[in-house]
């Protein structure tokens, strides 16, 4: 079981996919960075349960469609001398979904694919957003990746 999860919320507006990015508050890890939803997996939950919980905690959003992106966010953490392998999930939100941020974030924005590099600094997160975009827009989300939730 992994200790972290990433969630890439998105919506469709006027036929265009938009990703939700959140600006980290000044007093938390990754302060001032624009990022996707993410967090730690609690001992008693699966990675996908942690992803759904983090999405709701950080944005108050409940997805219409929730699926595992068939790839991982991998990176080396020099502080702990460990290689992190983080499961990634995509969460389709309603076009009119209201967003309520928790204390971890100071702002949010919906961005288009061409704006990913302007907001997201981490290469693996950029890659995963582009992969999700490609799978969404090419209608290639496999049923095997979809996680049925109790909504």
Residue 50 pLDDT > 90? yes
Angle at 41 between CA 40 and CA 47, to 5 degrees: 125
Query: Measuring CA to CA, how many Å separate 71 from each of 19, 43, 138?
Result: 18, 23, 17
Q: Determine whether 87 is exposed, middle or buried from the number of CB atoms within 10 Å of its CB (0-12, 13-18, 19+).
A: buried
- Maximum distance among all alpha carbons in the chain? 45
Q: Please compute the mean of the pLDDT values over residues 37-64 and round it to a whole number.
A: 97
pLDDT average, residue stretch 82-108: 96
Domain-embedded: residue 151: no
41 belongs to a structural domain: yes
Chain-wide mean pLDDT for the chain? 95
Cβ atoms 25, 33 nearer than 8 A:
no
What are 59-92's pLDDT values in tens digits?
A: 999 999 999 999 999 999 899 999 999 999 999 9
pLDDT at 2: 53
Q: How large is the average pLDDT for residues 2-15?
A: 94
Please measure the distance between the N-terminal and C-terminal CA atoms of the chain and give it in whole angstroms: 25
pLDDT-based confidence at 149, cuts 50/70/90?
A: confident
The CATH code of the domain that includes 42 is: 3.90.79.10
Does 28 reside within a domain?
yes
This prediction has a pTM of 0.94
Q: How far apart are CA 142 and CA 43, in angstroms?
A: 29
């Amino acid at each position: 079981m992994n200790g972290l999860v990433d969630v890439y919320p998105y919506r469709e507006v006027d036929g265009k996919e938009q990703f939700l990015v959140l600006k980290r508050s000044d007093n938390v890890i990754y302060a001032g960075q624009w990022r996707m939803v993410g967090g730690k997996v609690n001992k008693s939950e699966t990675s996908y349960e942690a992803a759904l919980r983090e999405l709701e905690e950080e944005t108050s959003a409940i997805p219409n469609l929730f699926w595992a992106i068939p790839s991982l966010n991998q990176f080396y953490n020099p502080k702990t001398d460990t290689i992190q392998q983080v499961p990634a999930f995509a969460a389709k939100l309603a076009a009119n979904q209201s967003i309520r941020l928790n204390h971890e974030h100071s702002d949010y924005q919906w961005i288009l694919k061409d704006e990913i590099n302007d907001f997201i600094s981490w290469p693996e997160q950029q890659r995963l957003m582009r992969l999700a975009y490609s799978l969404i827009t090419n209608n290639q989300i496999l049923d095997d990746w979809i996680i049925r939730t109790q909504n």
